[in-house]
A = this chain, B = another copy of it.
Amino acid sequence: MTLSHSLEDYLEAIWVINQNKKVVRAKDIVDYLGYRVSSVNNALKNLAKEGLIEHERYGYIEITEKGANVAAEIYKKHETLELFFADVLHVDEETAARDACNIEHYISDSTFRRFSEFIEFLKKENSNCYEEWRKYAENKGGKMKLSQLKPGQKGVIKSIEANESMKQRFNSMGILQGEPVEIIKKAPLGDPVMLNVKNYQISLRKTEAEMINVEVV
């Protein structure tokens, strides 16, 4: 029996909900995964057919022992990947969760095993690899100029190297320290640059974009 990626998702969702709620209903899955209730229903039938859950008409959903084992394994992958993305790579939480949720279905067992060991290694307190890496990454991250980002990339403004009147102008556009920005598009030679700040779309000259230092997110 090999589960489709889709069914893996459903099963994992049921398992996770079950951790907090003791009783799982179709509606919970709808809320968790964002699918329509009919799609959930369909998936439940398939999971039941595989003996991974039990589900009485109009009743609660119970995960079987077999189902719990399968789900726990999937979730472990999810957890490990998310931890790596969020705590090691320092990707934002939402992205880390999303990526983990996708990749968990595709990483093979043997790769995952090695990967887990690798993370275990990084977390060992007598290793300073993690600290070295953080130091390295911070230098890297701090150095980007807004003009160097590509369309679709997001960042947070770290500092602005401009005279006062220029800073004033940036200020009035919502461009100030700590503000998240996203590049919408760039003209062929990077001039002008179109970006998103506080839900406004702003167009900057390349020379202006070069004054703004960002940390890529």
Indicate if the CB atoms of B90 and A114 lie closer than 8 Å.
yes
Residues of chain B lying within 8 A (CB to CB) of residue A129: 127, 129, 132-133
Indicate if the CB atoms of A95 and B117 lie closer than 8 Å.
no
Indicate if the CB atoms of B107 and A103 lie closer than 8 Å.
yes
Indicate if the CB atoms of A92 and B110 lie closer than 8 Å.
yes
Given contacts A89-B115, A91-B114, 10 further A-B contacts (CB under 8 A): A89-B114, A95-B108, A99-B106, A103-B103, A109-B152, A110-B153, A110-B216, A114-B137, A124-B136, A127-B129
- Can you identify 22 A-B contacts, CB atoms within 8 angstroms? A85-B114, A89-B111, A91-B110, A91-B111, A91-B114, A92-B110, A95-B111, A96-B111, A98-B108, A99-B106, A99-B108, A99-B111, A102-B106, A103-B103, A103-B106, A109-B153, A110-B154, A113-B216, A118-B133, A121-B132, A127-B132, A129-B132
